Amino acid sequence: MKLTPSGQPEEAGDVVCDMCGVSTRVGEAGVQFGKLHAAWGEGAGHSGEVYELHLCEGCFFSVVSDIKRTRWASVMLEDEGDEILKNDAFGRVSTDGAE
């Protein structure tokens, strides 16, 4: 959730983690957060709805871990299961900040 210094939602200012409620500001580096975004299109159960959640670093990787465990549980009897748990780059698309 993006908040102004007065606590009102707005574009500028701080970004508060939607999971733990703590500021995502990291010292002089400014805000550091991950996004969980969805824009559901025609045919989806939530058609026309757009979601955007902001997560601090700790909560982001907690969510990634939950996704990996859920995925592992669905394939744990197959070879793929262990590879999912050991994959530290699960969901990573870049290491240099480029998307």
Among 1, 19, 36, 64, binds Zn ion (CB under 5 A): 19
Residue 30 or 75: the one with the smaller Cβ distance to Zn ion is: 30
The Cα–Cα gap between 74 and 13 comes to: 41
Are residues 20 and 53 in contact, defined by beta-carbon separation less than 8 angstroms? no
Closest CA to 85 of 74, 75, 67, 72: 72
Among 4, 7, 10, 20, binds Zn ion (CB under 5 A): 20
Interaction of residue 16 with Zn ion, rule CB under 5 A = no
The whole-angstrom separation of Cα 86 and Cα 56 is: 23
Chosen residue from 16, 17, 33, 84 binding Zn ion by CB under 5 A:
17
Write the DSSP symbol of residue 95: S
Binding map of Zn ion across residues 23-62, x = CB under 5 A, - = no contact: ---------------------------------x--x---
Which residues of the chain form contacts with Zn ion (CB under 5 A)? 17, 19-20, 56, 59
